[in-house]
Structure 1
Amino acid sequence: MIHPKLKEAIQKYSEELTSLRRQLHSEPEVAWEEFKTTTFVCQYLENLGIPYRRTVPTGVIAEIKGGHAGKTVALRADMDALPVEELNKDLVYASKEEGKMHACGHDAHTAMLLIAAKALNDIKEELTGTVRLLFQPAEEVAQGAKEMVKQGAMQGVDNIFGIHIWSQMPTNKISCQPGPSFAAGDWFKITFKGKGGHGAMPHTCIDAAVVASAFVMNVQTIVSRTIDAQSPAVVTVGKMDVGTRFNVIAETAVIEGTIRCFYPETREHIETQLHHYVESIAQMYGATATIEYTHGSQAVINDEWSAKLVQQVAAEAFGEEALYAEKPTMGGEDFSFYLSEASGSFALVGSGNPEKDTEWAHHHGKFNIDEDALVTGAELYAQYAWAYLKH
């Protein structure tokens, strides 16, 4: 199932792997601004003699063609950072960019895939088929994968595999369960318009703060009272902007939030109900309302055969004790757009280690990874591609 030369090569390149990750971490670029990162990846691939092409405006698609004809398996790594201030100021590789940070592990994903590519390139004459490498921009805004697909990333691909470093799992544990893994993620912006006026004369006004508050208090019943309890869903209001002064009745209130769920019918139902609640509550208070609803990533649903292959590869490469059954998360992942084009799966590689202070939540300013997990992730990428093509 696994190739011993891949294991040996990735162990040999382990120091380089850490170095690559640290360089990427110190030079973060947010969504659609990954120009230096794209050039960095291209130069690395060029030095290996791996043909590639840039996507627009950022991103890279590359291929390692095997010595024997066969299918095509794609491996994906995302590259973008977040608009988050790094709080780990004592790290020698801390972010050099104020207000920007790799707070989700995409620096690790990119470094792991580069080293996996190097190891696979070493044995390319033994490969039965082609390994396509996708270095994707703009995952954090749920747009990069869709754009990569538009630019041909999945043409001719039979199967796709991706990895996410996961701080909520112990270092080097691997989880890839069949079925739902990451939720669909949408977001909304609602503007309630009332009638402003003096705080001493509320009877002459329509208080947008009251309207917005009524919506926030009632919207949770969409989940608690209109959805099957066995179909998980989350509606979160994360931002409310209302009012201008302590003694002025607010004329306008703007609310922003997100919706997470696993099943298309649940997603459609929540969107319909959200519009109904907005319109009804506005009408009840004599206000008006507009709603902007944006569909983000779809749910990541792991193909059963592919997920079981990941488990087999992981058990053989790292031992049965490496396998871990992580529950599905309500976090979003635009890897889902690739799974609309081909079968595949998405694995989690644990990087949480309390002794190294790497259990912080993703997107937190103190997020960091246990770099021991890098070798595991790089080998899992490479061994999965080898195993899939052998099948």
Structure 2
Amino acid sequence: MINETIKKAIKENSEEMVNIRQKLHSEPELSWEEYKTSQFVYDYLQELGIESRKTEPTGVIGELVGGKAGKIVALRADMDALSVEELNEDLPYKSAEKGKMHACGHDAHTAMLLAAAKALVEVKEELPGTVRFIFQPAEEVATGAKAMVEQGAVEGADNVFGIHIWSQSPTHSVSCTPGPSFASADIFKVNFKGRGGHGAMPQACIDAAVIASSFVMNLQSIVSRTIDPAQPAVITVGKMIVGTRFNVIAENAEIEGTVRCFDPAVRDHIEKQLQVYADHTASIYGGTAELEYIRGTQAVINGSESAELVQQVAIEAFGENRLYEEKPTMGGEDFSFYLDEVPGSFALVGSGNPEKDTEWAHHHGRFNVDEEALETGAELYAQYAWAYLTK
């Protein structure tokens, strides 16, 4: 009976949810700049009668206390946009901010969780426990979740659940597989120093361009020759700055890249090997190297009990044909910081529809969401909260 009440409430508020998503899409705010978005969320929760508080500087936490005593389940949505120029020229709700865009679906996440909150208000008196709504800033820079945790986002919570819209999967599909879901995501920076000079006199110089190039070409053997092939890992160099002029041998070279994996031991190993490769490569040519390794998000590892509950909820709410198994991705997600504190899981809701041109990759300027998927995401949030509190 309650499940049908939730489903009905989501459907009845579907148009409002889409309107909210489009409003947020047209008014994107970057990480740690979500002032208008967080104020909108706070005001909306207040209108629903959900006790809420703001976190510093741009987060919001709301709590719906049920009519019966019980556990606390936390639901999370992220709110920040990206520094991406929108290329969807024909959208009536296209980004009004040049160089800023919701290119990853966080506008949809926020709208879905607000709709879920509204639906759960309708069954408040029957709720045996508390639902906490976490509206998080700065996921795209992997620092928002940690800040929210430090400000009590999951304090006292028994479980946490999050959703990500997924353009690579068909609209309405749902995946939540126990075990690894998103990889840890780290940044490394290497500064190589040689000795500059005239391009016509290389014998008097130590070419930083050669050192850096050799390092880039060789570091892939860290994965291919020092790590168990059964352990997934990726090392990518995305940025190289070297040289100042066509006839000047470079004295300095700067490299930046990322490391992705699932196993903490592999993560430690790669960090050590990067230092070894940088030092040895530089020394071969007579230069020096300085490595900075910045640990970002942890790997998102779905708890078995929580993930299996998501699967059960999805089957009961949408049918078994909607459930699929997404392979672990090397993408990063700071939802991991919540899972470091309490058990939970992170689900994917498909929004890819070739007829609506919504299969573009996340972070692309043509990214868009099939808004029919919003009902699925909103209901999954709400039904999961109900199922967890009543199980």
Q: Tell me, which stretches of 5 or more residues in structure 1 are unaligned?
A: none
Q: Name the CA distance, whole Å, in 2 between partners of 1:314 and 1:211.
A: 53
Asked if 1:102 is matched to 2:87, the reply is no
Asked if 1:232 is matched to 2:232, the reply is yes
Asked if 1:117 is matched to 2:117, the reply is yes
Q: Name the CA distance, whole Å, in 2 between partners of 1:212 and 1:364.
A: 29
Asked if 1:31 is matched to 2:37, the reply is no
Per the alignment, residue 49 of structure 2 pairs with 49
Deviation at 1:284, TM superposition (A): 1.2
Per the alignment, residue 131 of structure 1 pairs with 131
- Amino acid across the alignment from 2:334: D
Matched positions, count: 391
**1:68/1:128 contact within 8 Å kept:** yes
Deviation at 1:49, TM superposition (A): 1.0
Per the alignment, residue 171 of structure 1 pairs with 171
Deviation at 1:2, TM superposition (A): 6.7
Q: Name the CA distance, whole Å, in 2 between partners of 1:48 and 1:229.
A: 52
Per the alignment, residue 74 of structure 1 pairs with 74
Q: Name the CA distance, whole Å, in 1 between partners of 2:359 and 2:212.
A: 36
Asked if 1:65 is matched to 2:56, the reply is no
Per the alignment, residue 223 of structure 1 pairs with 223
- Amino acid across the alignment from 1:30: L
Deviation at 1:290, TM superposition (A): 1.1
- Amino acid across the alignment from 1:11: K
Per the alignment, residue 266 of structure 2 pairs with 266
Structure 2 SS opposite 1:16: helix
Per the alignment, residue 384 of structure 2 pairs with 384
Q: Name the CA distance, whole Å, in 2 between partners of 1:230 and 1:2.
A: 45
- Amino acid across the alignment from 1:173: S
Q: Name the CA distance, whole Å, in 2 between partners of 1:9 and 1:2.
A: 11
Structure 1 SS opposite 2:331: strand
User: How big is each residue's C-alpha offset from its partner over 1:204-225, in whole Å with a ceiling of 9 and x where there is no partner?
Assistant: 0000000000000000000000
Per the alignment, residue 193 of structure 1 pairs with 193
**2:2/2:123 contact within 8 Å kept:** no
Asked if 1:297 is matched to 2:304, the reply is no
Q: Name the CA distance, whole Å, in 1 between partners of 2:335 and 2:187.
A: 18
Per the alignment, residue 306 of structure 1 pairs with 306
- Amino acid across the alignment from 2:277: Y
Deviation at 1:110, TM superposition (A): 0.3
Between the aligned residues of both structures, percent identity stands at 71
**2:65/2:130 contact within 8 Å kept:** yes
Structure 2 SS opposite 1:296: strand
User: How big is each residue's C-alpha offset from its partner over 1:264-315, in whole Å with a ceiling of 9 and x where there is no partner?
Assistant: 0110110011111111111111111111111000000000011000000000
Q: Name the CA distance, whole Å, in 2 between partners of 1:323 and 1:367.
A: 23
**2:145/2:335 contact within 8 Å kept:** yes
Against the structure 1 CA distance between its residues 2 and 267, is the aligned structure 2 distance closer, same or farther, given a 3 Å change threshold? farther
User: How big is each residue's C-alpha offset from its partner over 1:209-262, in whole Å with a ceiling of 9 and x where there is no partner?
Assistant: 000000000000000000000000000000101111111101111000000000
Q: Name the CA distance, whole Å, in 1 between partners of 2:315 and 2:48.
A: 30
Per the alignment, residue 85 of structure 2 pairs with 85
Q: Name the CA distance, whole Å, in 1 between partners of 2:117 and 2:275.
A: 47
User: How big is each residue's C-alpha offset from its partner over 1:131-187, in whole Å with a ceiling of 9 and x where there is no partner?
Assistant: 000000000011000000000111100000000000000110000000000000000
Asked if 1:373 is matched to 2:370, the reply is no
Per the alignment, residue 152 of structure 2 pairs with 152
- Amino acid across the alignment from 1:207: D
Q: Which moved more, 1:308-317 or 1:285-294?
A: 285-294
**1:186/1:258 contact within 8 Å kept:** yes
- Amino acid across the alignment from 1:127: L
**1:2/1:317 contact within 8 Å kept:** no
| 1:283-362 matches, cutoff 5 A | 283-362=283-362
Q: Name the CA distance, whole Å, in 2 between partners of 1:338 and 1:224.
A: 32
Deviation at 1:102, TM superposition (A): 0.3
Asked if 1:142 is matched to 2:142, the reply is yes
**2:190/2:256 contact within 8 Å kept:** yes
Structure 2 SS opposite 1:185: strand
Per the alignment, residue 214 of structure 1 pairs with 214
**1:80/1:138 contact within 8 Å kept:** yes
Deviation at 1:6, TM superposition (A): 0.3
Per the alignment, residue 363 of structure 1 pairs with 363
Structure 1 SS opposite 2:330: strand
Deviation at 1:122, TM superposition (A): 1.1
Asked if 1:4 is matched to 2:4, the reply is yes
Q: Name the CA distance, whole Å, in 2 between partners of 1:98 and 1:292.
A: 33
TM-score (norm 2): 0.99
Question: Runs (4+) of structure 1 moved beyond 4 Å?
Answer: none
TM-score (norm 1): 0.99
**1:2/1:387 contact within 8 Å kept:** no
- Amino acid across the alignment from 1:306: S
